[in-house]
Amino acid sequence: MAPIIAASFAGGSRGQYRITQITPVIGEGLAPVARLATHERAPLDFGDAAWTLRGTTGHVRYVAQREKVALAAVQPLLGRPEATCAALIPIRKSDAWWDLAQDERRAIFEERSRHIAVGLDYLPAVARRLYQSRELGEPFDFLTWFEYAPEHAARFEQLVAALRATEEWRYVEREVDIRLVKENANT
């Protein structure tokens, strides 16, 4: 397994991604900014960032072995040249969620909400990486990063809508949806 990677996402006037939309889906939003700078591992000087979100990669929390194999077979890597659309969706879940035991959370997450199975339906079109933020004292519990080609934009909307319609999502108490377009370094 890759070691824990600490990542930062800074919203401001710099960065490789142009922000096309910041939507407060549930609860408080984030200040509107023009660009997003992302960085993994080494710290970056984000200059005048209006906000910076941090998270770490890590081990799977709910994925069972058979699902891990299924995911590994089809999930694409980040950074595909054609995947110029991206989304960053930070969410925070309620105390009611975190109060549940592991088997209760797993039952809601997969047996009843089919979070993993739904995600599989959209592979390999949509690449994603999950960052954990809760233990870092951040305002969100998770940051999910998505990358897809413009031709799969409608599919991505279906994926997001499917997840938001689940029982799991009733435990989400804050969600912001940030849409991005990757731009070449010389634009």
Q: How is 162-179 classified by DSSP, letter by letter?
A: HHHTSSGGGGEEEEEEEE
- Under the binding rule (CB under 8 A), the answer on residue 44 touching a second copy is no
Per-residue CA distances from 108 to 26, 102, 130, 159 (Å): 20, 10, 18, 18
Sole binder of a second copy in the list 56, 75, 84, 166 (CB under 8 A): 56
The tokens describing 51, both together, are 């906000």
- Under the binding rule (CB under 8 A), the answer on residue 112 touching a second copy is no
- Under the binding rule (CB under 8 A), the answer on residue 106 touching a second copy is yes
Sole binder of a second copy in the list 25, 26, 51, 58 (CB under 8 A): 58
- Under the binding rule (CB under 8 A), the answer on residue 73 touching a second copy is no
Place of tokens 């600490």: 6
Candidate segments 31-39, 55-63, 120-128, 169-177, binder of a second copy by CB under 8 A? 55-63
Peptide bond into 124 cis (omega under 30): yes
Nearest to 62 by CA among 96, 113, 99: 113
The tokens describing 114, both together, are 């089919």
Sole binder of a second copy in the list 38, 40, 44, 67 (CB under 8 A): 67
Q: Which residues bind a second copy (CB under 8 A)?
A: 1, 4, 6, 56, 58-65, 67-68, 95, 98-104, 106, 132, 134-137
